[in-house]
Amino acid sequence: MRYIRPLSMEDAVGQLAGSSGTSAILAGGSDLLVRMKGGFIEPDLIVDIKAIDGLSEIRETGDGFSIGAAVPCAVLGESAALKKAWPGVVEAAKLIGSKQVQGRCTITGNLCNASPAADSVPALVAAGARAVVVGPAGRRTIPVQSVPTGPGKTSLAKGEIIEAILLDKRAPRSGDAYLRFIPRTEMDIAVVSAGVNLTLDEHGVVKSARVALGAVAATVLLVEEAAQVLIGSRLDEATLERLAKVCAGACRPIDDKRGTIEFRRKVAGVLAKRAATTAYARAGGK
């Protein structure tokens, strides 16, 4: 096993692409080290990306935010500008693990770990976040939902590294929210989760919407039909009921000890309603 800490993306990509055997990218390590400890992975090469210039920063640009792949979730919570613009993304990131884990874990890692129950991913999908992927063939920007392809699997090719997650600049009268159900009060993995992102017109009518559900399918679901239910509404009771019904119907959950299919479907609808209500209020809707 070899540990390297490259100083540039080019070097990191080159080392990963040129490696034979198993390689792993290390940012926060809160998934990787657990998998190594459990014997699920024994990498021949560990590429620590934390010393790469710019990867540990949140940059606010004219287009929005660029969150470096090595930025711990705790730092997201400390960014007043990010919290103001994307409170739902930040509250989702802050739900991952304990204070100790928060100091290490990253949203990019959460995305690449490709757990169907990842907390930050539904919020990022609802936010329309994009991932900047750097690889041997160059740089490309893709929607975050195209990164995980199934439990533990991603669309990233050998040698590819996500450099940053991009969030758009906020349109006026916009709000997002993320909620999850867990059987405990803290420190657990989502049984069901929902992220909602809304923009309203000047009359408080929903102009655009994105609804994402977590832990109810092999990957996070972006539910277009749910967005259509919300668009044109002021989130009256009938709209919320339709939203719940559409979300429950969109779920393709598994039955396991943490929740039955029936339970997950019902809760998905309830969480979508509540997240939509919060997002609406954050957007200034009444």
Decide whether 96 or 247 has the Cβ nearer to other proteins.
96
Do residues 231 and 268 touch, judged by C-beta distance below 8 A?
Answer: no
Decide whether 2 or 158 has the Cβ nearer to other proteins.
2
Q: Own/partner pairs for 239-245, CB < 8 Å, 24+ apart?
A: 240/273, 240/276, 240/277, 241/273, 243/211, 243/269, 243/272, 243/273, 243/276, 244/269, 244/270, 244/272, 244/273, 245/269
Decide whether 71 or 246 has the Cβ nearer to other proteins.
71
According to CB under 8 A, which residues from 76 to 105 bind other proteins?
97-101, 103-104
Distance, in Å, from the CA atom of 45 to the CA atom of 22, rounded to the nearest integer, reads 7
Options 22-30, 107-115, 120-128, 248-256: segment touching other proteins (CB under 8 A): 22-30
Strands (E), 144-262: 148-150, 153-154, 161-168, 174-181, 192-200, 206-214, 221-222
Decide whether 104 or 210 has the Cβ nearer to other proteins.
104
Q: Which residue has the tokens 């090719």?
A: 157
186 lies in the binding site for other proteins (CB under 8 A): yes
Find, among 170, 142, 145, 143, the residue nearest to 86 by Cα: 170
Site string for other proteins, 195-234 (x = CB under 8 A): ----------------------------------------
Instruction: In angstroms, give the least distance from the CB of 38 to other proteins.
Output: 7
38 lies in the binding site for other proteins (CB under 8 A): yes
3 lies in the binding site for other proteins (CB under 8 A): yes
Residue 72's DSSP bridge partners are 106
249 lies in the binding site for other proteins (CB under 8 A): no
Query: Contact positions toward other proteins, by CB under 8 A?
Result: 1-3, 5, 26, 28-30, 33-34, 36-38, 46, 48, 50, 72, 74, 97-101, 103-104, 186-187
